């Protein structure tokens, strides 16, 4: 997983293929639970880029995409948002959800 560092946002989400972005906060318990799930999937799902965006550091990006709660995971395919989920889910559910869009 790649920690978002303020680069041009379109460079992150505008890539070809599937891009997974987790919006999180350091104080969020469910965010901490979801992190190892996404880290594991990032090593298993070749050709898929995984990013994390700290909403407290990068509030503008979170507001721009309409994040209302954390954790929220947004899937982008070929630069377009295709789906999003909020809250913690076990690895099997997250993987099944993401595989719909590969």
The residues annotated as belonging to the active site are 28, 31
Cis before 101? omega within 30: no
Tokens of residue 21, six digits: 């972005």
Between CA 7 and CA 69 the distance in angstroms is 23
Among residues 43, 35, 47, 37, the alpha carbon closest in space to that of 101 is found at: 47
């Amino acid at each position: 997983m790649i920690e978002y560092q303020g680069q041009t946002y379109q460079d992150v989400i505008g890539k070809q293929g599937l891009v997974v972005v987790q919006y999180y906060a350091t104080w969020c318990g469910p965010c901490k639970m979801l992190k190892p799930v996404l880290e594991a999937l990032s090593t298993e799902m070749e050709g898929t880029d995984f990013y994390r965006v700290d909403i407290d550091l990068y509030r503008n990006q979170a507001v721009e995409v309409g994040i209302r709660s954390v954790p929220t995971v947004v899937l982008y395919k070929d630069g377009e948002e295709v789906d999003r989920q909020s809250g913690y889910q076990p690895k099997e559910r997250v993987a099944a959800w993401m595989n719909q869009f590969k």
